[in-house]
Amino acid sequence: MDAVPLYRQLATHYIDAIRAGSLKPDDKLPSLRHLMRQHGISLSTALQLCRSMESEGWVEARERSGYFVRRPRRLAMAAMDEPAADRAPDPAQFVGIHAKVSDFVARRRRVTDKLDLSIARGAPGLYPSEALRRALTAALRRRPGMLAVAAPLKGHLPFREVLAQRSLRLGMTLSPDDILATNGCIEALNLALRAVAQPGDTVAVESPTFYGLLQILESLDMRALEIPTSPQTGISIEALELAIRTYDNIKAVIVVPHLQNPLGSVMPDSHKERLARLCEQHAIPLIEDDTYGALLDAPMPPRALKSFDGSGNIIHCASLHKILAPGLRLGWISAGRWQARVEMLKFAQTRNNEALSQAGAGQFMATGAYDRHLRHLRQCLKAQREQTADAIAGYFPGGTRINLPPGGLQLWVELPQRLSSTRVFEAALEERIVIAPGTLFSNSSRFDHFMRINCGWPYGEAIDGALRRLGEIVAEVISPARPAPRNPPPARPAPPVPVPHPA
Residues that bind a copy of itself (CB under 8 A): 98, 102, 121, 124-127, 129-130, 132-133, 136-137, 140-141, 144-151, 183-184, 186-187, 190, 194, 199, 212, 215-216, 218-219, 221, 321, 325-329, 344-345, 347-357
Interatomic CA distance for residues 275 and 478, integer angstroms: 40
Helix or strand holding residue 206 (H, E): strand 202-207
Using the minimum distance from each CB to a copy of itself, give the nearer residue, 83 or 125: 125
Helix or strand holding residue 81 (H, E): none
Using the minimum distance from each CB to a copy of itself, give the nearer residue, 193 or 433: 193
- The strand pair at 59-62 and 66-69 is best described as antiparallel
Min separation Cβ 389 and a copy of itself, Å:
25
Using the minimum distance from each CB to a copy of itself, give the nearer residue, 47 or 153: 153
User: Looking at 216-313, which runs of residues are DSSP E strands?
Assistant: 223-230, 234-235, 250-255, 286-289
Min separation Cβ 355 and a copy of itself, Å:
6
Question: Distances in Å between the alpha carbon of 31 and those of 15, 28, 183?
Answer: 16, 8, 56
Interatomic CA distance for residues 244 and 270, integer angstroms: 20
Min separation Cβ 365 and a copy of itself, Å:
14
Using the minimum distance from each CB to a copy of itself, give the nearer residue, 175 or 349: 349
Min separation Cβ 191 and a copy of itself, Å:
10
Using the minimum distance from each CB to a copy of itself, give the nearer residue, 169 or 351: 351
Dihedral, CA of residue 265, residue 312, residue 335 and residue 196, to nearest 10 = -90
Min separation Cβ 152 and a copy of itself, Å:
11
First to last CA, the chain: 13
Min separation Cβ 252 and a copy of itself, Å:
17
Amino acid letter, residue 190: N
DSSP 456-471: -SPP-HHHHHHHHHHH
Using the minimum distance from each CB to a copy of itself, give the nearer residue, 104 or 308: 104
**Cβ contacts of residue 51 below 8 Å, gap of 6+?**
none
Min separation Cβ 497 and a copy of itself, Å:
22
Using the minimum distance from each CB to a copy of itself, give the nearer residue, 46 or 315: 315
Using the minimum distance from each CB to a copy of itself, give the nearer residue, 354 or 386: 354
Interatomic CA distance for residues 7 and 66, integer angstroms: 17
Min separation Cβ 378 and a copy of itself, Å:
17
Interatomic CA distance for residues 312 and 303, integer angstroms: 16
In terms of C-beta density within 10 A (0-12 exposed, 13-18 middle, 19 or more buried), how is residue 417 classed?
Answer: middle
DSSP 27-40: PBPPPHHHHHHHHT
Using the minimum distance from each CB to a copy of itself, give the nearer residue, 94 or 238: 94
Give 258's DSSP letter.
B
Using the minimum distance from each CB to a copy of itself, give the nearer residue, 222 or 419: 222
Q: What is the largest CA-CA distance in the chain?
A: 74
Min separation Cβ 154 and a copy of itself, Å:
12
**Cβ contacts of residue 403 below 8 Å, gap of 6+?**
80, 231, 232, 263, 264, 265, 411, 412
Interatomic CA distance for residues 209 and 228, integer angstroms: 10
Using the minimum distance from each CB to a copy of itself, give the nearer residue, 120 or 389: 120
Interatomic CA distance for residues 497 and 387, integer angstroms: 9
Min separation Cβ 412 and a copy of itself, Å:
22
Q: How many residues in total does the chain contain?
A: 503
